[in-house]
Structure 1
């Protein structure tokens, strides 16, 4: 079982912002795998006890699926970005997972717009959602997919920048990169992180 985590903020206000590319990739992945994400309680599945405790409404939109025979759980935390660790820790415990079996997808201002990078571990790099996950899991040693959103902002304007939408001239590159990132996540599920890193970190 893999736990795939797309980071973002819930609500229409944040839907198309740079800070929500984790949600965008999660949505693209759900569409590709025909997975329905829901924040409501669900009946237990045959593969895993899908209890109301496991699938708490206040923590995340989530769903279970398979891709080419490999099981995964996909979540979009609803705790808002700065408390993402609460949802991730809950699902890691519920699924009894090692941290090496999760993949966290998030925006990264240190990479050019549309750049996709997979890493086995790393620090938070100033990202509050990632820092929350580190704090709740007690380790920074978990795989992550970083999606570049650029850093074209004046000093002190970082928050406004990441909470802004992509520029029209960036959108084509972003759409292409979201498809690439989705492919990379599915490769992680099917063939493992090392294979995905070898294939996708060479691009862009």
Structure 2
């Protein structure tokens, strides 16, 4: 009987899902339509996403509806099929919720945490001063030592990858395509430089090359 009941969901089911998330995460009171008092706790947008995922999992796995989009049956008008959590109503509300949380300052979008040259310098100095212990075997991250995910060599290689991506404005998948044959060490006007040739098209029709002056000492990052 339970499976038969969930095959004929009411048309307002997505609205009920939205109302549940709104009551926990939104600044607007669901009953009065006014702003909630500051003493009332609101969950974060990440928590709201988990709430939606829980509903989607319950209908998809528990009631065996799957991941089908919520829509009205063309053969039986008035009958709705699919997962209500994947409806247009819920999707549009989640987009609106995220936009309003970012605007209010309670949430920070990922793009607002972009790396700048000062952060890159701190990262470089931290990795260069990391203990140069033996890395004969891979390190495993444990709960008690979550920061020990890699040794000196691993951190320096990642730092080089970060710097290359930032200098050349590359995505990580693009930076990982660079091979040793694309790097050339040259001397220009008495200064040691590194020439990096991009083996793929970026902002130029035939690719491009980056000249970078080498730092005189390991403790001074290249500017």
Query: For the superposition of Structure 1 and Structure 2, which TM-score range results when normalised by the shorter chain?
Result: under 0.3
| Structure that is richer in strand per residue | 1
Give the TM-score of the pair, scaled to structure 2.
Answer: 0.20
Q: TM-score, normalised by structure 1?
A: 0.22
Q: Greater relative contact order (Cα 8 A, min sep 6): structure 1 or 2?
A: 1
